[in-house]
Amino acid sequence: MNEAVAHTGAWGFTAIMIVVASWVLYRYLAPKSWREWASAGLVQAFIIALYAEMYGFPLTIYLMVRFFGLDGANLNASLWSTALGVGELGMMIAMVLGYALLFVGIGLFIQGWRELYRARQQNRLVTDGLYALVRHPQYTGLFLGLFGEGVVHWPTVFSVAIFPVIVLAYYLLARSEEKKVLAQFGDEYRAYQRRVPMFIPRLNQWGRLLDGTSTKVGNEG
């Protein structure tokens, strides 16, 4: 690969992005158990690999050119636009869509944390706000953000491969967390489980979830 790829070699900016993203991750996930640390570690690896390729060295594009015959004479920084041959317009569309998913995901992630924090302070089961739409809005936000940034906007071999592993890890973590909540709230939580999906809201509730601002959605069936 002889042609330089734009926006690479900025290792200082790479370090800043990794630190900022990692701070948000650990600030709001606040892992305590080994399961939580293991899941957060996968996300941390995702973040490091993603920004190292985005602003450091484009390893995925290099490998695609070297071993899979990707056209090395028509490169830009986006794997999708390079592989599909849709040029700068395709890269721009992927960037806008990816950032939209990222910012919505961050909003859900933080708002879900706030609602859960308030409920824990009051020692009550949270079933309103975002929690009236999905049982784990923090994880829904995390999935949206990672998918937007590491699959839609800036796909790499590592980010595309590790994303489903992260989803599986947080699914298992959510199942473990729910066992603890069941032990505390019993039938109240069982009824909540029956009427509210785990991560993906019902079709007619996506608008409310993506808005991420409603604090009184209520207990809907």
Q: What is the CATH number of the domain that holds 111?
A: 1.20.120
- Contact assessment for residue 209 and residue 139, using Cβ atoms and an 8 Å cutoff: no
Whether residue 221 is contained in a domain is answered as no
For residue 212, what pLDDT is reported? Answer: 62
Return all residues near 217 (Cβ < 8 A) that are at least 6 apart: 128, 129, 130, 132, 133, 208
The residue ranking higher by pLDDT, 86 or 102, is 102
Parent domain of 207: 11-211
* pLDDT (average), residues 39-47: 93
What is d(CA 212, CA 210) in angstroms, rounded to the nearest whole number? 5
For residue 77, what pLDDT is reported? Answer: 55
Whether residue 1 is contained in a domain is answered as no
Instruction: Provide the domain count of the chain.
Output: 1
For residue 29, what pLDDT is reported? Answer: 84
Instruction: Band the pLDDT of 218: cuts 50, 70, 90.
Output: very low
Whether residue 220 is contained in a domain is answered as no
For residue 216, what pLDDT is reported? Answer: 44
CA 30: distance to chain centroid?
16
CA 185: distance to chain centroid?
29
Whether residue 100 is contained in a domain is answered as yes
* pLDDT (average), residues 105-120: 90
For residue 208, what pLDDT is reported? Answer: 80
State percent of the chain over pLDDT 70.
81
Whether residue 94 is contained in a domain is answered as yes
For residue 215, what pLDDT is reported? Answer: 44
- Contact assessment for residue 115 and residue 140, using Cβ atoms and an 8 Å cutoff: no
Whether residue 41 is contained in a domain is answered as yes
What is d(CA 212, CA 133) in angstroms, rounded to the nearest whole number? 11
In terms of DSSP H, where are the helices of 69-202?
A: 79-84, 87-121, 137-147, 157-185, 187-195
Whether residue 218 is contained in a domain is answered as no
User: Is the predicted pLDDT of residue 220 greater than 50, yes or no?
Assistant: no
Secondary structure class of 202 (helix, strand, coil): coil
Helix, strand, coil share of the chain (percent; to 5): 75, 0, 25
What is d(CA 105, CA 84) in angstroms, rounded to the nearest whole number? 27
Report the chain's mean pLDDT, rounded to a whole number.
83
For residue 59, what pLDDT is reported? Answer: 73
User: Is the predicted pLDDT of residue 126 greater than 70, yes or no?
Assistant: yes
Whether residue 201 is contained in a domain is answered as yes
From 114-123, 130-139, 187-196, the region with the lowest mean pLDDT:
114-123
What is d(CA 209, CA 108) in angstroms, rounded to the nearest whole number? 8
- Among 85-89, 157-161, 173-177, top mean pLDDT goes to 173-177
